[in-house]
Structure 1
Amino acid sequence: MENVRFGIIGVGNIGTVHTRYLLAGKVPEARLTAVCDNNPAKHEAIRQLVGEQIPVYSDAESMLKSGLIDAVIVATPHYAHPELSMLAMRHGIHTLCEKPAGVYTAQVREMNEFARHSNVVFGMMFNQRPNPLYQKVKDLIDSGELGEIRRSNWIITNWYRSQSYYNSGGWRATWKGEGGGVLLNQDPHQLDLWQWLVGMPVRVRAFCQFGKHRQIEVENEVTAYAEYANGATGVFITTTAEAPGTNRLEIAGDRGKVVVEEGKLRFWRLRESETEFNARWQNGFGEPECWEVTIPVAAECSEHYVITANFAAAVLHGTPLIAPGTDGINGLTLSNAMHLSTWLDDWVDLPIDEARYLSLLQERIATSVEKTSENRTLDASGSW
């Protein structure tokens, strides 16, 4: 195999992004050979996008069985991600799943078990992981430069979405169609990065606001507090109804602090660890000597095609995946825990009670209001 023949299931906002970069040849070891969307009303517009030579399917299994593709990008609404990913793997098709991995952890756990016993490459479209800023933060943590993590704060409020965005699809921002709001749609990237960098907490207390400033069912403003096994704490704040927004990640360890904001990384390093300083210092007032260190970081890059290129290299050459598919359950666990904590108005221990979560989610699905909005494909170029 000289290159990987890709199909795409779901040619909506993000599916169109994947279609365009594959057609433009941005992934040299990949080419687009088929697409699928189960809404025939969109096929004429899809045909204009992909041209006459690429087949357009209405049924995913027909495309998977066509012999035209080696791999697939699953870019449908969230509930279908595990089902379609497992269907693709069942047909021996390498599978790259858009975020989130699913809506609730029980269905994603089933998908992960299925993937472990398949002979295909399974990846997640976590396109923020290859961003040099976060790669460098991970290096500082994994190498011990920051010391033991004590606190992390992420304020991610630059996900502004107007009412017209939510009105662009009948499935959007409903419990029945999407299964969640900002935590399921916008924040899977940050929730994945948060756990990728500092690990998973042992318990979470969250406060979700549902339909705040927007006519939607699901959460669009969240403040969450997390506690970790080593005593560290974390705060995660997000909303889609704030302008201008902020994207600031701050991680403090006993050897220093790192801040990522506005595409820049700042690192303050203590000359000695806070633990050592505290043990020897006898003069009351005072603190460890601190240096702000300049760290070279490559230009920020969070393009989706970087993950697809890595995925193609994994298929062709066995290159390790930047974002293995089985990692998708971790960030989803955090979002499920934040929902559950709000619904129960209490702390939630991890791993969560998956049956309890699903039961409460199904209660909300049962009362979810069917929207009559006509689905529109929006221009998502430049989005995360």
Structure 2
Amino acid sequence: MADTTENHQVAIVGCGVIGRTHADTISARPDATVTALIDGDAAARQALATRLTEAGHPEPKQYDDLTAALSGADISLVAICTPSGTHAALAEQALNEKKHVVIEKPLDVDLTRARRLGAAASRAAGHGVISSVISQHRFDPGSALVAQAIRAGRFGQLTSAVATVAWWRSDEYYASAGWRGTWAQDGGGALMNQGVHTVDLMLWFMGRPVSIQAQAIRAAHHAIEVEDTVVATLTFESGAVGTLHATTAAFPGGRTRVSVHGTEGGAEVEDDLLRRFNADNSTEDVPVEAERPGGHVAQYEDIFGAIGNGQQPGITVQDAIDALATVRAVYIASTLQRPVKFIDVLEGRYDDVEVSRGIGLPPN
């Protein structure tokens, strides 16, 4: 539990849809107040400020940029809710000012910036400053139960995993904001934007991959730069294998599912709820209540608890770097049309590969 004697003073950077989610989650807590809103769009700032005040919360100060906010407002934590390609630079700026940082997924779209942020986060941790990246589905009760069972060996030897994100996004969705569907700010398509949470869950369950091969295409949305459909196969350090699929070209939109399989059991999480759970060599499903996901509320509880207890949060910047490197490895493998080693991508040996040239129409 968080230390409720402390009043966390939070700045929200980016006042769009996800910024509202963070603001609502934070302002609902008795130990936290949104004290600053930062966005170059004055109308977006004002709309979120009005939302907070109409809900009975103090009116936050408003700023065009983070630099002004850091010098002008009382801030202990900065929540980064801007387009993906801006995350690392803003987070590093806040950490350099000894502010705790929460970054919306993904960590960034560029591994070089992500590694630099990782180093900054490590330095800041030495001064008691925490940093975390939103991956709220690790806090869903069903996903947590699966992870616990894996750590306890209740599924036996893990043999395989299957992860799929079958969603639909219209052309209007991509046109609704200039950064959507671009390499520079979105960093990728169906996998980077919609699928990164599922990638994170797969890594949490299965561990780091060793090698990855993939095919990424634009199947339906030809006005965007990035992929709308991708399929990959992964080999993990344990020897298990997995398949990963993400698409925004599955009208009218399907389900998100992660399943893990082992010699003594397995489980399936579908749309954030645990649908199947066998363990300890039993053929009977263990009854599972349909508990609702934990979401941002549960992750912020973990974050504020880490601050209050002087500990690292449940999800670190390094966890997010691993997820980003996996996504990048998928794009690189598709571009090069051959398997790539995860460690080579993680350590920067493929940083000069232009993945944009490898994403196109389905091959004839």
**Correspondence for 1:142:** 151
**TM-score, length basis structure 1:** 0.84
Query: Relative to structure 1, is the Cα distance of residues 209 and 230 closer, same or farther in structure 2, using a 3 angstrom cutoff?
Result: same
**Structure 1 position 126 matched with structure 2 position 118:** no
CA shift at 1:19, angstroms?
1.6
Query: Relative to structure 1, is the Cα distance of residues 90 and 210 closer, same or farther in structure 2, using a 3 angstrom cutoff?
Result: same
SS of 1:292's equivalent in the other structure is: coil
**Correspondence for 1:321:** 313
**Correspondence for 1:377:** none
CA shift at 1:264, angstroms?
3.0
Alignment counterpart, residue 164 of structure 1, candidates 160, 163, 172: 172
Query: Relative to structure 1, is the Cα distance of residues 235 and 362 closer, same or farther in structure 2, using a 3 angstrom cutoff?
Result: closer
Report which of the two structures shows the higher radius of gyration computed on alpha carbons. 1
Contact 2:92 2:120 in 1 (8 A): yes
Contact 1:150 1:233 in 2 (8 A): yes
Provide Cα deviations, 1:45-103, integer angstroms capped at 9, x if missing partner. Answer: 34433448211110111112234110010011111111111100001100011111111
More moved, 80-89 vs 298-307: 298-307
Aligned counterparts, 1:324-335, within 5 A: 324-335=316-327
Provide Cα deviations, 1:147-166, integer angstroms capped at 9, x if missing partner. Answer: 12110011221x32111111
More moved, 202-211 vs 42-51: 42-51
Contact 2:160 2:260 in 1 (8 A): yes
**Correspondence for 1:291:** 283
**TM-score, length basis structure 2:** 0.88
Alignment counterpart, residue 360 of structure 1, candidates 345, 353, 359: 353
**C-alpha distance in 2 between matches for 1:167 and 1:213:** 11
**Can you give the 5+ residue segments of structure 1 that lack an aligned partner in the other structure?**
272-289, 365-384
SS of 1:103's equivalent in the other structure is: coil
**Correspondence for 1:275:** none
CA shift at 1:355, angstroms?
4.8
**Correspondence for 1:115:** 121
Higher RCO structure, 1 or 2 (CA under 8 Å, sep 6+):
1
Alignment counterpart, residue 36 of structure 1, candidates 21, 35, 38: 38
**Correspondence for 1:337:** 329
**Structure 1 position 22 matched with structure 2 position 32:** no
**C-alpha distance in 2 between matches for 1:141 and 1:44:** 46
More moved, 204-213 vs 314-323: 314-323
CA shift at 1:211, angstroms?
5.7
Query: Relative to structure 1, is the Cα distance of residues 201 and 320 closer, same or farther in structure 2, using a 3 angstrom cutoff?
Result: same
Query: Relative to structure 1, is the Cα distance of residues 35 and 43 closer, same or farther in structure 2, using a 3 angstrom cutoff?
Result: closer
Contact 2:49 2:59 in 1 (8 A): no
**Structure 1 position 196 matched with structure 2 position 196:** no
Query: Relative to structure 1, is the Cα distance of residues 361 and 60 closer, same or farther in structure 2, using a 3 angstrom cutoff?
Result: farther
How many residues are paired up?
343
- Identity score, percent: 29
Alignment counterpart, residue 241 of structure 2, candidates 213, 233, 242: 233
Contact 1:29 1:309 in 2 (8 A): no
**Structure 1 position 62 matched with structure 2 position 72:** no
CA shift at 1:343, angstroms?
0.6
**Structure 1 position 266 matched with structure 2 position 259:** no
SS of 1:202's equivalent in the other structure is: strand
CA shift at 1:332, angstroms?
0.5
Alignment counterpart, residue 247 of structure 1, candidates 246, 249, 256: 256
SS of 2:212's equivalent in the other structure is: strand
Query: Relative to structure 1, is the Cα distance of residues 99 and 126 closer, same or farther in structure 2, using a 3 angstrom cutoff?
Result: same
**Structure 1 position 154 matched with structure 2 position 163:** yes
Query: Relative to structure 1, is the Cα distance of residues 136 and 172 closer, same or farther in structure 2, using a 3 angstrom cutoff?
Result: same
CA shift at 1:356, angstroms?
5.7
Contact 1:77 1:177 in 2 (8 A): yes
**C-alpha distance in 2 between matches for 1:212 and 1:296:** 38
Alignment counterpart, residue 6 of structure 2, candidates 2, 5, 21: 2
Query: Relative to structure 1, is the Cα distance of residues 213 and 67 closer, same or farther in structure 2, using a 3 angstrom cutoff?
Result: closer
SS of 2:84's equivalent in the other structure is: coil
**Structure 1 position 300 matched with structure 2 position 302:** no
More moved, 261-270 vs 185-194: 261-270
SS of 1:79's equivalent in the other structure is: helix
Instruction: Give the aligned CA root-mean-square deviation in angstroms.
Output: 2.1
**Can you give the 5+ residue segments of structure 2 that lack an aligned partner in the other structure?**
358-364
**C-alpha distance in 2 between matches for 1:90 and 1:325:** 15
SS of 2:192's equivalent in the other structure is: helix
SS of 2:228's equivalent in the other structure is: strand
More moved, 173-182 vs 36-45: 36-45
